[in-house]
Structure 1
Amino acid sequence: MIGGSGLLGREVTQQARRAGARVLATFHRNESALPAIDWRPLDIRHRDNVTALVQQSQPAVIINAAYQQADWATTADGATHVAAAAAAVGARLVHVSSDAVFSGLADRYDETCPPDPTTPYGAAKAAAETAIKGLDPGAIIARTSLIIGNGNSQHEAFVHSLASGTTAGVLFTDDVRCPIHVTDLASALLELACSPHSGIHHIAGTDALTRHELGVLIARRDGLDAADLPTGLRARTGTPGPSKYAWTAP
C-alpha cells in the first residue's frame, strides 16, 4: 500500500489485514500506529527508492493512494515510478486518481471521456494516468471524488470548524461532487485488485451534492446546527478548480 498513512490508505490496510492479507504500507512523514502492518518510509519522488522497495518486497498487488496537491513530482512523477516498479515485478497495480482530471464543463462524465484538467493538481493526475496506461495496460485507474469518513476527513473537519466558528470560510453552493465514504472506496479498490478488470473505473457516490449540501448532511449527522454553516460561490472567491464534477453513476 503506497500512501498507507493517509485516510484512504489506513482504511485499505485495515480491510486487507482483516481479510488475512500480509500488508506492507508506506508513509512519507508520519508512520501510522495501525498494528500488524509492515510500515516502511518511502518518498515516491525518488525512482531508485521505489524500485528498491518493490524489488525487495515482491508484492502481488500495489495500491497507490499517495499524492500531494501542489507537488507534480509526487502526484505525476511518483505515480510513474510506482507503475514502472510494479510492471517490472509483475505486480497488480491499482492507482487512485481523481475527478480533478475533468474541467467540469460537460453535463456528465464517464470512463470514456478524455481528461481536460484546469488545475495543476488535475493536470498531474491526468499525466499519471497517461503514464500508467503506457507502462502497464493491465493496471486499474480508479477515479474517485470527495472522500468522507467517520468524522476524520478534511471536509468533515472543515464543517465542524465552520459550525463552531473556529475558522473562516464558506461551503460552496456551486461546487458539485459525488462524495464517497472511505470504507466503501477502500472495499471497491480491494475488489478491483482481485478482479480481472483493467483500465479506468469511476468509483464514487451515486448522488451529486454541492459542498454545502454535503456539509448540511454532516452537520445533521453530528448534531451540529446546519444554519451556522456559511455559504458562498466558488466562482466569486477566485479559488482554482472547476465547479462541477457530475459523473455517470458508477
Structure 2
Amino acid sequence: MKKVLITGANGLLGQKLVYKLRENQRYKVYATGRGNSRLPKEWGDAYQWLSLDVTDLEQVLHVFDRVKPDILIHTAAMTHVDECELNQEACELQNVEAVNNLIKACKQQHTHFIHLSTDFIFSGADGPYDEEAMPNPVNYYGVTKLKSEELLKSSSLKWAIARTVLVFGIAADMSRSNIILWVKKSLENGKNIQVVNDQWRTPTLAEDLADGCILLMEKEATGVFNISGKDMLTPYDMAMMTADYFGLDKSLIQEVDSTIFTQPAKRPLKTGFIIEKAVNELGYSPKSFTDGIGILSKQIKLADS
C-alpha cells in the first residue's frame, strides 16, 4: 500500500483528492493542513489528519520522517491574486519557500513530488498554451508559481507539475464561492452583475483536476502536464451558460471589458490550456463546462437537503 501525503487538504482540491482516494485500497492517505481538519467527520476512518505548516522546515521534515510518503500532492498555496500582489513577502514564503522545504523532505524520503501550478505563469498574450510555451508572468502570484516550478525542475527529485486554470467546485463546508455560485445567487436575488468578456480561460472542475492528479500518481508520471477543462470561455460566457442552465434572467448580466475594474494585480487576458498531452499520455478526460454546472447543481441540492 502506497502512502500519499496531501498538503492543503482543507482546500477545494485537497478535499476532492481525499474524497476520491479515501476508499482506494491501494493508498493510505495522510491529509495535512494548518490547524484542524475541516473535512467531513464521516470521512474520518479513511485518512489520517496531520497538522502541518509547509513554511516551517522543521515541521515538514518531522512529518515526512514520521509518514515516509511515497507520493506528495502539494496543493497548498497562497492563491488570492490581489493578496499576493499586496503581500509579496507572505506570497514568497507560502509559494516558494514552502516548495523548497518540501523538496528537502522529499529528497530524504525519495518521494514522488506532484506539484500544482497555474496558467498565471503566462502573460496571456497568446493563449491557449501547451506545456512547451514560454512563461512570462504579469503578476506576483504568477512570479512565485514560476519560481516554484523552476525549483522543482532543478531538483534531483522524481517530479510532476500539474498546471491548471480557474478551478471551480464546491467544498464540503461550502466555504468558497465560484463564478457559478456567484452568478446563480446574484440572479436569483434579482441583482444586476457586470461580467468581463475579454479574458479567456479553460475553467477546470475541481473533480477533474483531482482525477488528473491521481492519474499522474498512478502512472508515476514525470514532467509538466496541463490539467484543465476543455472549453475556452470568457467569464461572460460562463455567466450566460450558468443562467441558461438554471433558467435565470440573463438580462441582469451586463457584458463589460476588464478595463472598468481596478485591481492590485494585473490579469493575463487570454490563457487557457491545450490538454492533448494529458489526454493522450494519462487518459485524462475532463467534463464540459455545462456538465460541470450540472455536477455543482446536484451538490448544491445535497448540501441544502
Give the TM-score taking structure 2 as reference length.
Answer: 0.75
**Which is further off, 8-17 or 209-218?**
209-218
Residue matched to 1:143:
163
Partner-residue secondary structure (3-state), 1:142 = strand
Q: Name the residue aligned to 1:24.
A: 30
Q: CA RMSD in A?
A: 2.2
Checking the alignment, whether the CA contact within 8 Å between 1:162 and 1:229 is kept in structure 2 is no
Deviations 1:150-171 (A, max 9, x none): 5855333322343245988632
Counterpart of 1:115 (choices 132, 135, 139) is 135
Residue aligned with 2:128, SS: coil
Task: Look up the SS of the partner of 2:28 in the other structure.
Answer: coil
Change (3 A) 1:27 1:243: same
* Superposition map of 1:205-216 within 5 A: 205-216=229-240
What SS class does the counterpart of residue 135 from structure 1 fall into? coil
Structure 2 vs 1, CA of residues 141 and 110 (structure 1 numbering), >3 Å: closer, same or farther? same
Pairing partner for 2:14 from 9, 31, 34: 9
What secondary structure, in the 3-state scheme, does the structure 2 residue paired with 1:94 have? strand
Distance 1:55 1:28 in 2: 18
Matches of 1:51 and 1:171 in 2, distance apart? Answer: 45
Match of 2:154, SS? helix
The question of whether the paired residues in 2 share the 8 Å contact of 1:26 and 1:40 is answered with: yes
Residues 219-249 of structure 1 deviation map (CA, whole Å, 9 limit, x = unaligned): 3334433332333211332332111103223
CA 1:196–1:38: 2 relative to 1, 3 Å: closer
Q: Distance in 1 between matches of 2:259 and 2:108?
A: 45
Secondary structure of the residue aligned to 1:159 is helix
State the match for 2:268 in structure 1: 242
The reply to whether residue 51 of structure 1 matches residue 61 of structure 2 is yes
Q: Which has the higher helix share?
A: 2
Partner of 2:194: 170
What CA distance in whole angstroms lies between the structure 2 residues aligned with 1:127 and 1:166?
A: 44
1:196, distance to aligned residue in structure 2 (A):
3.5
Aligned counterpart for 1:40 among listed residues 37, 42, 50 = 50
Mapped to 2, the partners of 1:196 and 1:220 lie a distance apart of: 40
204, 222, 233: which is aligned to 2:228? 204
How many percent of aligned residue pairs carry the same amino acid?
24
Give the count of matched residue pairs: 250
Deviates more, 1:19-28 or 1:30-39: 30-39
Among 145, 150, 153, which residue is 1:133 paired with?
Answer: 153
In 2, the alpha carbon distance for the partners of 1:30 and 1:216 equals: 38
Amino acid at match of 2:39: A
Q: Is the 8 A contact 1:2 1:26 kept in 2?
A: yes
**Taking structure 1 as reference, are residues 225 and 82 closer, same or farther at Cα in structure 2, changes over 3 Å only?**
farther
Give the 3-state SS of the residue equivalent to 2:240 in structure 1: helix
Partner residue in 1 for 2:281 = none
Aligned partners of 1:131 and 1:195: how far apart in 2? 23
- Any unmatched runs of 5+ in structure 2? 1-5, 85-90, 277-305
Structure 2 Cα separation of the partners of residues 146 and 91 of structure 1: 28
